[in-house]
Amino acid sequence: MSLRVSDLKRVLPPSAVQVARGLQTCLPGARRSWGRTGGTDSAPYCYEVFLKHLTLCAEAGMGAVPRSVAEIGPGDSIGIGLAMLLAGAERYAGLDVVPYSLAAHNGLVLEELIAFLRERRPNPSWGWPNYDHLLDGEFFPSRILGRDALRASLEPARLDGIRAALEGRPSGSIHVGYHCPWTSASAIEPASVDWIYSQSVMEHVDDLEEAYAAMQRWLRPGGFVSHQIDLRSHELFPEWNGHWGVSRLAWRVMRGRRVYLINRLPYSAHARAIRRFFEVRTELLHEEEDGLPARRLRAPFDHLDDRERRTSGYFVVAVKR
């Protein structure tokens, strides 16, 4: 049995729709995840996210494209990681809980990204956080992706190696790994990664302490993490903070047996966990004034301070001590 969300939304209020979806996951044979994640099956989107994380990490002190990178939650393709390889990285590891990434998407996205980087395609910031100040007059990060370095990383033999690695063929120094489902820190060797990043993923992780501790274990000393965290309700509710207006019991029912949903944690929970394991270099907050008023928030969110209540997005760059 499968409930169509569009049908439910016509007859039920938002909370009831989510309760129905949560209950559905408890039925025998029911799906526990829905559809595709969106975004990373598009080469322009992957290019945008790649440039955003790269430039903001460079501003925080990362000198060049690192040799080894890992991505938490790549989603529909590993396109962001492919952009990293095209820019000079040699090793990529993607970690996900549901196998969304498809080989067909990856191959198509790779070829588009090659074209983007060859032409040094201009890319003004799409939204928050804005990184235009880190681009040149042509809206390209020429300070970190210089012409000579990019020419070398896009040599035909190297591109053939990336294609081979993507297809699981011998690929020289290039390595592509995809770990799914990711269930433990043993997925990656300790002190083997230079940069770990995620885009709108950490708000889905149930155990933040365990996740950030795993990243600290994987990173080499001086390695970077960068995370953009979307603290909104992910269209579960009309209000961006509608998920904070639901009681603990109702939320458990809404979650049901879904593989993941959102963890509902405010930015301060991420900030505390990150600071346990890393030295923060950059911390950016996106604030919104609308949404549910404070009086309609339910415990434990009824005690958030004014800034936490307004914060709908968090971007952080940090370094392993």
Domains of the chain: 5-320 (3.40.50.150)
Structure tokens at 1: 């049995």
Q: State pLDDT tens for residues 9-39.
A: 554 556 656 655 555 555 555 554 555 555 6
Predicted pLDDT at 259: 81
Predicted pLDDT at 1: 47
Predicted pLDDT at 75: 87
Mean confidence (pLDDT) of the chain: 90
Predicted pLDDT at 186: 87
Q: Is the per-residue pLDDT at 63 higher than 70? A: yes
Average pLDDT over residues 88-116: 89
SS (H, E, C) 131-190: CHHHCCCCCCCCCCCCHHHHHHHCCHHHHHHHHHHHCCCCCCCCEEEEECCCCCHHHCCC
Q: State pLDDT tens for residues 147-173.
A: 999 999 999 999 999 999 999 898 999
Residue environment code for 23-46, b if the CB has 16+ CB neighbours within 10 A, otherwise e = ebbeeeebeeeeeebebbbbbebb
Predicted pLDDT at 101: 60
Instruction: Tell me how many degrees the CA angle 127-313-292 measures, rounded to the nearest 5.
Output: 110
Q: State pLDDT tens for residues 281-312.
A: 999 999 999 999 999 999 999 999 999 999 99
Predicted pLDDT at 194: 99
